[in-house]
Structure 1
């Protein structure tokens, strides 16, 4: 959900957008799920196991109560998506380490009322069994038996279901807002089922680091005269890339800052990086990072609709060019504030095709605060004093940008 204000409580923004719209934005279309259990008491998944080979694989998850669930199939790549009520996963990740028919398994929260298990397959698959069995001691067992399938059979499964798998359309209607406020949308990268990178030393997930920093930055920005801050999420929930952009536009944001802390195979590389949008990446590292970040929806099992062709509109093209120029200016302001104060990688302003930066009318940057693959960066990312220092430097950068925009009639 978006949180607005200094750091304005969630209730304030809910009043602006409307409670139904907020939950509509966060909800995933779970057609066929039926009445999911209430989120005030999540289910507990306390054990899990997986066994099998490249022909058949069985997954078993033990729950304290009987779970309602639904199964869907998603193509490109082939995935099996299992939607659940709000669930606390109390078993180690390695208990569901991918094997057999699957090369990746993710599980986690989608929002306050639902969770999801995403099984990415090595080849077309189908479930020959998907049922809940009651155990001898009152526990309940979700049993999923997967078997290999032909490409034609898998395609029929995908086409034969009434499920989009993408986030519900956001409500574009907004109550009147203070047009005098300079609004900064702060986007904590990843969340929910999408953990992002994992710290090499502490195993801290990227989603937790970005959320902690986003809340601190919003508080610091909200304390500045004439600046209002909004968060695209203020909890451990999943948001699709398009939702993040839509929420910023709904908040009438003047700036969009997406926060990340990725990993690299080269563990000696450390420091902050600021990215702006470009169809052509500035370098291979930027290209690879953008490709990984753009997989966020796929990780959560979102089935994306084909994007409509762009409208040949010269005004829209001019808007994008102007927005891009402002994005570069914002990036330069951030790096100017960081210079000599925060460690930067070489060529710290880079660009690539990040989907989350594609709002045509909001200057946007993606800030890699550091790299969780580097032990020294990881230590700083978890240090409250360092985060406070960096957030103040970002406030200074935003303030200079705001003054420039106002002086230019923005």
Structure 2
């Protein structure tokens, strides 16, 4: 595998994106006490709703990021998106009440939506002739690296008495690194391969229309919704679950999420190194089935150390789903625009994250515990297993659509 400046820009963007997303859940118990919605006293729904603060603006910007990339190019669009995300995180650090924290998270979500929509096709373009599925899995591994370091360091700092506002402000400043890597002038030796075609909004809309008319696309859309929900639901609530159910510190909660993130890192980077493109359906189906079995153990594990071990293996099993489903979908829909497929599938994954996270909190509030609510997670992975397994084993590429495939256009506006 060969990496350059723009690979490192994508890696650091994923890392800061993960840090901003996970700093809130790792400090959620402290934030809830400071802003007067304590989790142990019925505040689980309010905590889960914070994920929706990001979800709606993320979807909105994902839907327009194709137009933004057409005007500015993917490189500049990603640089600006990291800057907006960092601004939102910085504002979170100064939010005096729940409503303003919610608003600041929405601002961060505006930038995160563009990252979600364009980072994967950005990497695809960099390595489109060198098994891009490997590079996509590897780059997404840096989301897990960000989770790993954030929950470990933030959990330790919170236990030592460092205020959560200071942690958020520091993460926001880290966003300057990927912003600079994306936006500083590119060299003639290694320019980013932007499309040279003129920008046509109608062309982009037509790409989207063609995709949503293919029934097969909605199978991948549903799989992304549930894969995102299963992964982020566990990522968001693991630390709070540990603190509430094992009556322990923020550091222990952070270490629990670190175990999950460590498994994600091992899974994504390992699969990225050794995966062959034709193995994607095998990988998704087998790991999703394993994720069902492993996450079913979580509500019934009554000791902290075994719970952390289960979280680690859950991270390995959940690791490849988000990037691999996207790359697999482009293989199975070769006559449709690749970038627009990535964007639309991200528009499924992000609502899945918000919906499942909120449902876990809502059911936890109704039942007074997260035990029952955690059963939503294996249910998500079970349906992913069925969807991709059916597509892989029983549906052939010829079944994609009854329309005659459109001819491939050399360097289309978003490809």
Give the TM-score band, short-chain normalised. Answer: under 0.3
| Higher helix fraction (1 or 2) | 2
TM-score normalised to the size of structure 2? Answer: 0.25
Larger RCO: 1 or 2 (CA < 8 Å, sep 6+): 2
Q: Normalization by structure 1: what TM-score?
A: 0.25
Higher Cα radius of gyration: 1
Q: Comparing both structures, which one devotes a greater share of its residues to strand? A: 1
